[in-house]
Structure 1
Amino acid sequence: MTDYDVLAEVYEWLISEAKLPPAEFAASFDDVLRLLPSNAHVLDCSCGTGQLAVGLAGRGIQVVATDASEAMVRRTAALSEEFGTSIRAVQANWEELPDHFEDDTFDMVFCVGNSLHHAAGATGRGAALESMSRLLRPGGRLVLTSRTWELVRARGSRLDISDRLVRRNGRDAVVVYRWEIAPHWEDEHHIEIAIAQVDATGSVLVRSELLSCWPYRYEELEADLHRVGLRTEVSTFDRDAENYMVVAGKTATS
């Protein structure tokens, strides 16, 4: 099961320090943001705690943020209020997006933060990409980031423990990832993420969540994008890199 309702309260420990400020998170996508028309409408689906959405809104872009987790949507709305930006935040999973928005609504859709692997298998992934494609205007673009699952699976099941304390808002924590790698690509995999906060007295408070995921090869993602009318314009895929980004455009006839 994938909720992020527990991790939403401590999610800042999972975001790199460089991308915690909303403006910096948005700046990491400067190259693709230059492709937007004036008065652009942008959807940040799987918005997490809202750093990207708020950063985009701070630039004057009209932004809608969605997430399947109610707690994530709540944190996004709170961050938007803190920074004085105007964002519509909606709880919705990928398949529900067409119930909330008209087709051909957005100039750009972001699906970042390694979220697509939470779609249930090839069928769920295809449905998610179909929903995102439908909402794009002809000529619009999907911006997607992903773990390099070829690399993750090669490492097998394991326990990854941060080798130093991570400080956020004056508090320290140790971040732990427990990977359950299934025998076959198409099987359900699991990642358990734990945030162990350490207070000034040495007491430890642990929040953890077990998340389901269904990995995919890069070639499968390319084929899935093609099937829903999207053509890859930019790809940073490298089998030896931890993550990559794909920018895919919607053809005028999609």
Structure 2
Amino acid sequence: MTGYDALAEVYEWLISDAKLAPAEFAASFDDVLSLLPSNAHVLDCSCGTGQLAVGLAGLGIQVVATDASETMVRRTAELSEEFGASVRTVRADWEELPDHFDDVTFDMVFCVGNSLHHAVGARGRVAALESMSRLLRRGGHLVLTSRTWELVRAKGSRLDVSDRLVRRNGRDAVVVYRWDIAPNWEEEHHIEIAVAQVDAAGSVLVRSELLSCWPYRYDELEVELHRVGLRMEMSTFNPEAENYMVVASKV
């Protein structure tokens, strides 16, 4: 599992304006949140810097936030304190989740932010999904977002430089993605992400990280969800769209 420790300190430059505010990020999931019972327990198992977890806690939901990166977990805890939100934070990767929580603990598990591709190959991905499934109560839901890797691979290796400055915390930055697309689906791919911050004097501070990933096809994800006891209930998959969301229920 990839660390994200270098990018964690500048991760807000990678979050869209619409999802930067915790309340707005949580509101983007209003449709699936309507599936929750009262007094729901929710796990955000790829919490990043905590915008979703804090937004959910602001709705009165009992939230636990986990991430494989210690720095991401720290930043989530800091954001929770800033907003006065009650969020329990735990450093854990997907396969470690059953070591921290009992089976059938949660009514909903979120795995968002295009994170599942960091699981190592099909075996690692199924293991991650199995851990999430174990923690769901019967009838509970997994909410997962993903890049459309069919499109990513079709574009090949490339350099993507943002066409505008992104302003966060009074500072501007240019975001650059370098995609290293392997010849075959099952091989390790790489994404290098750089955030180049520019201050008022024109000085540039660059933080970057090389991330490993193992892409998957949408139909593979469908099969793997079924394999771990989850039934696909909703999907926004469109082969021409860059991202999609699936909602699967625990059988």
Where on the TM-score scale, by shorter chain, does this alignment land: which range?
A: over 0.9
Q: Which amino acid aligns with 1:46?
A: S
Counterpart of 2:133 in structure 1 is 133
Which digits, 9 at most, give the CA deviation of each residue in 1:135-188, with x for residues without a partner? 000000000000000000000000000011111111000000000000000000
Which digits, 9 at most, give the CA deviation of each residue in 1:51-70, with x for residues without a partner? 00000000100000000000
1:201-212 equivalences in 2 (<5 Å): 201-212=201-212
Which digits, 9 at most, give the CA deviation of each residue in 1:50-102, with x for residues without a partner? 00000000010000000000000000000000000111100000000000000
Counterpart of 2:171 in structure 1 is 171
Q: Distance in 1 between matches of 2:159 and 2:57?
A: 37
Q: Which amino acid aligns with 1:86?
A: S
1:4-19 equivalences in 2 (<5 Å): 4-19=4-19
Q: Distance in 2 between matches of 1:215 and 1:52?
A: 24
Q: Which amino acid aligns with 1:249?
A: S
TM-score, normalised to structure 2, is 0.99
Q: Identity rate of aligned residues, in percent?
A: 85
Q: Post-superposition shift, 1:18?
A: 1.1
TM-score, normalised to structure 1, is 0.98
1:1-254 equivalences in 2 (<5 Å): 2-251=2-251
Runs of 4+ displaced beyond 2 Å: none
The SS at the match of 1:187 is: coil
Q: Which amino acid aligns with 2:129?
A: L
- CA RMSD across the alignment: 0.5
Alignment size in residue pairs? 251
Q: Which amino acid aligns with 1:181?
A: I
Q: Distance in 2 between matches of 1:143 and 1:130?
A: 14
Task: Confirm or deny: 8 A CA contact 1:2 1:210 kept in the other structure.
Answer: no
Q: Post-superposition shift, 1:196?
A: 0.2
Q: Distance in 1 between matches of 2:90 and 2:214?
A: 25
Q: Distance in 2 between matches of 1:45 and 1:190?
A: 22
